[in-house]
Amino acid sequence: MRLVVPSLKWKEQHENYMGEWGSVRMAPSSMDLSGFHTYEEYLTALDARAKGQFPSVESSHYFLINNNNRILGMVDIRHELNEF
C-alpha cells in the first residue's frame, strides 16, 4: 500500500468512493467533493488548503492505495493547529 496525492488520475475512483459513502458525512471532510462543480475546482481548493490559503490550517491530503491501485481510504494531515 502507498499514499498518493489526489489528482485527475484518481477522479473516477474518488467519485465512486464518495458514492459508497452515500449521504453520511465524509471523513475527512476535506476529501468531500460536494460543493464543487468540477474535479479540477476541487483539486484547486485542495492545493489552497495544502498551502495554508484556506480558512483552516495547512494540511496535506492523500489517498491510501492498495496493490491493485484501488482507493482504500483517505487522510488529511494537519501540520499544526490554530484557533480554527
Taking residues 65-77, report their average pLDDT: 92
Model pTM?
A: 0.81
> Residue 55 pLDDT more than 70?
no
Provide the 3-class DSSP secondary structure of residue 27: coil
Q: Where are the domains of the chain?
A: 2-78
Write out pLDDT tens, residues 5-40: 999 999 999 999 888 877 676 666 778 888 899 999
Q: Which residues are CB-neighbours of 48 under 8 A, at least 6 positions away? A: 54
4, 21, 54, 84 from 10: Cα distances, Å? 9, 17, 23, 29
